[in-house]
Amino acid sequence: MKAIVISKPGHVALENKSIPEPQAGFVRVKVKAAAICATDLEVLAGNIAADYPITPGHEWSGVVDAVGSEEDRIWLGKRVIGSNDVVCLKCDACRRGEWRYCSEFEEIGFKRDGAYAEYMVVPSYGLCELPDHVSFVHGALCEPLGVALGTLEKAGARFGDTLVIIGAGSIGLCILAAAKAMGMRDITVAATTGKRLGLAQRMGASHTIATGEHDLVEEMRKIHPRGTDVVIDATGIETCIRQSLKLARKGGTVVLAGYGRGKTMQIRIDDIHINNLRVIGAGNNWNQHKKAVALMAEGIVNIEEFVTNRIKLEEYETGLELARKRPEGFVKAVFVDE
Ligand SMILES: [Zn+2]
Ligand SMILES: [Zn+2]
């Protein structure tokens, strides 16, 4: 089968590999759609722990075409999406449902081969059926949508809360889609350039701020003079996180939802202490796939327009380049098997 392989940081190629066989408890999926995520670029750059050689890809959908255990035969031929978490299901963390804290945790696309291939192997316990009327391409976005749902859940966001999202990458935009659907209000999206702010407006953001042209803290003081209920940083950039602390209302919540690339930063302690801020971290998808599929299936969230480029595995260089350069109008490139 064709698969994209990162042999070591900085080295990526389309290879011919043997089709993987699912072991007990796993199924093989014929990949129908696999979205390119900014995180995959970090794997390529060597900035994220991964087991090389690795086939990346953790935002996917497909059809089950082989199973490793008799009891999983019910999945054969089903359209699916699923969790990328390979866990023991037995330890305390697993029994609390906190799979990512499992001592045996391994993530597909990072430690195990992922979806940039014709076939992939995933655990059957993480599968969700994708209804016929949700396209494979839309289904592949259940993963970033799940990250957004997990982030808002961790933030303790409520109906009627105000929100600032810093960063208009696909996670920032997924948070916007989910926040609109759950009845958050007066939502501001801020990003360095105006490239994606038009899309944020079309998706229902009340305000958009291009931080390359305007001072975010000053602008937000005009919009919410007493601060915003929930502020989510989806950039992982120091200046943005420092601004987040100034944007939240007294007693408000700041969520760090962007990858920090191992960097450290300085903060003014009193911004958190005196203002009684809740500052929390929200990385990754916390078993939110089922909810994400349901929201898409019922038409409550529709983010299919994020997919601006449908490409073949052979066009991986174009896809990665688009994800790296993010030209005007681009949001996501997705490998499709059509
Ligand atoms: Zn991703
Ligand atoms: Zn476990």
Alpha helices for the chain (secondary structure H): 38-45, 92-95, 136-140, 142-155, 170-181, 197-202, 216-223, 238-247, 269-273, 289-297, 316-325
Provide the pLDDT for residue 302.
96
Structure confidence at residue 287 (pLDDT): 82
Q: How far is the CA of 227 from the centre of ligand 1 (A)?
A: 30
Confidence of residue 252 (pLDDT cuts 50, 70, 90): very high
Q: What angle do CA 236, 323, 100 make, to 5 degrees?
A: 50
Question: What per-residue confidence (pLDDT) applies to 139?
Answer: 98
Question: How far, in Å, from the CA of 33 to the mean position of ligand 2?
Answer: 29
Mean pLDDT of 161-177: 96
Eight-state DSSP code of residue 71: G
Read off the pLDDT of each residue in 101-128 and give the average, rounded to a whole number.
97
Contact residues for 95 (Cβ-Cβ < 8 A; gap 6+): none
For the chain, which domains are there? 2-141+303-336 (3.90.180.10), 145-281 (3.40.50.720)
Tens digits of per-residue pLDDT, 183-239? 999 999 999 888 889 999 999 999 999 999 999 999 999 999 999 999 999 999 999
Angle at 140 between CA 138 and CA 141, to 5 degrees: 70
For 208, phi then psi, to 5°, come to -130, 145
Mean pLDDT for all residues in the chain: 96
CA of 48 to the centre of ligand 1 (A): 13
Q: What percentage of the chain reaches a pLDDT higher than 90?
A: 93
- Per residue in 232-250, pLDDT (tens digit) is 999 999 999 999 999 999 9
Yes or no: say if 263 and 241 are a contact pair by the CB < 8 Å rule.
no
Q: Which ligand is nearest to the CA of 94?
A: 2
Q: What is the pTM of this model?
A: 0.95
- Please enumerate in sequence order all residues whose Cβ is within 8 A of that of 104, keeping only pairs 6 or more positions apart, or say none: 86, 87, 88, 91
For ligand 1, the distance from its centroid to the CA atom of residue 203, given in whole angstroms, is: 20
Distance 147 CA to ligand 1 centre (A): 8
Judge whether residue 141 has pLDDT over 80. Answer: yes
Distance 331 CA to ligand 1 centre (A): 13
**3-class SS of residue 149:** helix
Q: CA distances (Å), 224 to each of 1, 156, 246, 248, 280, in order?
A: 54, 20, 12, 9, 22
pLDDT at residue 66, rounded to an integer: 98
> What is the Cα–Cα distance from 139 to 317, expressed in whole angstroms?
23
Find the ligand nearest to 110 CA. 1
Taking residues 106-122, report their average pLDDT: 97
Nearest ligand to the C-alpha of residue 142? 1
Task: Compute CA distances 282 → 148, 155, 172, whole Å.
Answer: 9, 8, 13
C-alpha 114 – ligand 1 centre gap (Å): 12
* pLDDT for 286 beyond 80: no
d(CA 107, CA 104): 10
Percent of the chain at pLDDT exceeding 70: 100
| Average pLDDT value for residue range 301-321 | 96
Whole-number Å distance, alpha carbon 223 to ligand 1 midpoint, is 31
Residue labelled with tokens 């958190």: 272
Output the six-digit token pair for 167.
Answer: 């960063």
**Mapping DSSP to helix (H, G, I), strand (E, B) and coil, where does residue 97 land?**
coil
In the reported structure, the alpha carbon of residue 88 is separated from the centroid of ligand 2 by a whole-number distance in angstroms of 4
CA of 39 to the centre of ligand 1 (A): 6
* pLDDT above 90 (res 75): yes
Is the per-residue pLDDT at 338 higher than 90? Answer: no
Strands 11-16 and 162-166: what pairing?
Answer: unpaired
- Assign 79 a pLDDT band (cuts: 50, 70, 90): very high
Helix/strand/coil for 73: helix
